[in-house]
Amino acid sequence: MMKAEYFTDPSGRKYSVRNDVDCKSSNVVYAVNCRRCRRFVYVGETGGTLYQLHLFKLSRIRTQHSDPVAEHFYTDGHSMDDFQIMGLEKLSGSDESAKPWSNCGSQN
């Protein structure tokens, strides 16, 4: 799992990483990074742990599922080795804490 103090979205807006998140953390906002493209390709939130999410996303890449994140990593010379997840923020569980991320297209 990646660690950083901030990340930049495709429009150039910076977001700080505000909480200590690890692979056992659940109910988090996360970003999917592509090593080959050197950019974040997706931001979302999950109620499960980052470890569970990581396994789920790798499974969808391996089985060539037709969702945008999976497709990114099995097309155009990409591979599962290019896939990284970074935990951005642990949410408190209320809808209010997710509002700053609502414009990022969050899904599980």
Q: What is the pLDDT of residue 39?
A: 86
Residue 29 pLDDT exceeds 80: yes
In this prediction, residue 108 has a pLDDT band, given cuts at 50, 70 and 90, of very low
If you average pLDDT over residues 41-48, what whole number do you get? 92
Q: What is the pLDDT of residue 33?
A: 92
Pick the closest to residue 28 from 11, 43, 14 (CA basis).
43
Q: Label residues 43-63 b or e (16+ Cβ within 10 Å = b).
A: bbbbeebbeebbeebeebbee
pLDDT one-digit tens code per residue, 67-87: 999 999 999 899 999 999 999
Q: What is the pTM of this model?
A: 0.74
Residue 1 pLDDT exceeds 70: no
Q: What is the pLDDT of residue 9?
A: 72
